[in-house]
Structure 1
Amino acid sequence: MISPGHKHSSPSLSQKRSPNDINHISPFSNSAFSANSSLSLSWPVKDPFEARLLHHYIVACSDWIDVCDSRRHFTREVPKRAAHFPVILNAILGLASRHLWLIEKLEEDHSQPYVDQCLQSLIIALEDPLAHWDENFLVAVILLRLHEEIGEDDEQCHHFGTARILNSISSFAADGGLRESASWVSLRQHIYVSLTKQQPFNLSLDNYKHSCVFREYDDEAWANRIVYQFALILQHVFEDAEHTNALSREKWTELNADTDEWYRTKPWSFAPLYSDPKAGDSFDGSWPALPTSQGVVAIGLQYYHLCKILLTIYSPNASLVGLAGLRARKSTDAAIRKHIRIIIGYGVSNSHCSNVMFQGSHILSACGAYIVDKAEQQACVEYLTSLQRLIGWRTDKVLAEVREQWAS
């Protein structure tokens, strides 16, 4: 077993490695993606430290991965697969080790040896097109991407790896089970990168059109529908520069109508338990109180307000000039601030669901400049600094970004 304290540099999935650099391991051998030949009726941990990591993943990490999955595949199925697929086990232990380090402020991050063992298998598998059909492969890459997201320096290596896998499979998001669940987790990961980096979506959304979420009516399905709608908006807003008419007036009208239709037809229970009719209109020293019956409800409503923010920013009215343009700009800025306050309000009101805290960080990274009141800016700083303490999400770079936006 590799010592938890062992440290060395880690390769990324986007790097090519010579066969001489690592062991000659078939991506479908016992050490990678095929089940171990000698199966044992026990959990795959070697000592109390690994048992603690596996338990931490189950109770502290999988919940926010599964927030939009009613069947909770990453909580129930993935730990069982870790008993037979070392590539998944190492990804779980790497993610849990880093998250535990952040949450409990441990002296050392012991995640790297587990991540390196996982990468040794994944890098070889990336060169084999058959590996793209293996859902265990995708699960491992998603877990590595989560490990990367909560790290100090997110280089997005595994973000590009998942896009390559998903885009190579025409119906991945409609295959059901763990495979479909993993594709939706990956979609949220790509949304995060597109929004915060303000760059084109590099994931094919056509794969998602036949997903079961568009035929089911539970809360998780409704949340995933608005997640997909937000992805569509991002796709059109941040289209490649040469596509100058990426978001035409007609397309904007269609996207806005579809967003409003989602809100109009959502279940009656898909709403906060109570909200002030003027919630978010202004900042009065605290964020709007918006408790919900389930975390997934708060997630879905946050994505609705994310949709409205981008649609407001890229509204055809935003191009008006003269006095009409000035009035429209003031109205636009006020509307954006209201949506930001509501998104953060859902987060702080439902902080027991870790995932609802992320969206406030993401939108402040992209749109923090719209917050102009000094007291509200300080409240944003306090919100961002609380994220690492509460959920292990590092916000140092986001804080630097918003402070730069406020200073300019």
Structure 2
Amino acid sequence: MWQIIRSRYVRPGLQMIRYRLFEIWRFMAALLIMLYHFGHFAPSDALWVKDGLELLRPLLDLFFIISGFLIFDRYGERVLEARAYGAYLFKRLVRLYPLHLVTLSYFVAVGLAVELGLSNTGGGLDLFQWETLLTNLLLMQGWGLNDNLTFNYVSWSLSGEWLAYLLLPILALAWRIAGLAGLALMTIASYGGLEFLVASGLMPETHWVYADTWGAYRVFADFALGALLAMLARKWPLHSSGSRLAAWIALLVSCMLMTLDISVYVSIAVLALAVYLAALAELVEPERYTYPAFLRPAAAVSFGVYLWHPVTESIFFSYIWNKYLLGAPAGVFFVYVAAVMVITVGVAILSFVLFENRIADRLLVWSGLHKPKGAVSPGL
């Protein structure tokens, strides 16, 4: 199974850095987000889990910073050509959209069951607002067009990723014109734009770190920061064999700053330092693993864990827990949560291997962007 997952990220003939620290960090962040959402169903004496994890909200920005790093590192100097830009967007779409469509379809089915009176559970009636279905289908639900999160509520961040993918040429142009200074200016301007949206009242949040229906602009700012870090690592590769440990320390310090409710910019700055140090570690020792082999399949499917966990939440908490286990003691709740988290990770791995990977490969072959497996290049 690991070889199947690995082949999705490292294709024959491509020399790509795996950035394994990023894999495990994204997986850990996905687990914490899942635990936070499951924690909303906790008994009153266990709600400290949800409340404690609420302080780690800026850790979600780690997803987007890493995404900006990886995407710009791979595509940033190619998307200014129309053909390459189209190919890049298609590759990103076939990676993200099939799973988005499947999980969205689940909530549409539940919503229809509620409408027909067949069910009154499955995620909360406020999720099923049919006027928002189109924006969800178009991956625009995080662009400030909806008042509430609906259907698969976590997909707002996917909407933000899609906006960042679309706007990648702006970052590429800034890099081409002014190099690191151009990317730094775009990053500062993007975070400044978030502050303006909040101060002007256009973004209906007390701080942009809480943005979700307007979260796409938060994603783009983090994406720009990730692009800047990618080019910093390329231009100033301050190689150090100790940077892997330093990266972990920086990540932990950032989390500590979040729990102490220090300025979000300080927390994100330390997060950025952690990402930079992690990149240096991978450049120095690209073949070194930083976590046990049995975690590799799971670490590679953090995206699936993120998108699937509202589905398992709907089944195991909104329905089963609320109907049959409500009122159970905290100990039972934590055992139940652990079991559902394991199930979710298993579903994400199977989804990747049996569905997402196959669909993406077929669409890429159909588009001519990849050759069928076993195909021989001309002249060989």
Query: If each structure's helix is expressed as a fraction of its own residues, which one has the higher value?
Result: 2
- Calculate the TM-score normalised by the size of structure 1: 0.27
State the structure with bigger RCO (CA 8 A, min sep 6), 1 or 2.
Answer: 2
Q: TM-score, normalized by length of structure 2?
A: 0.28
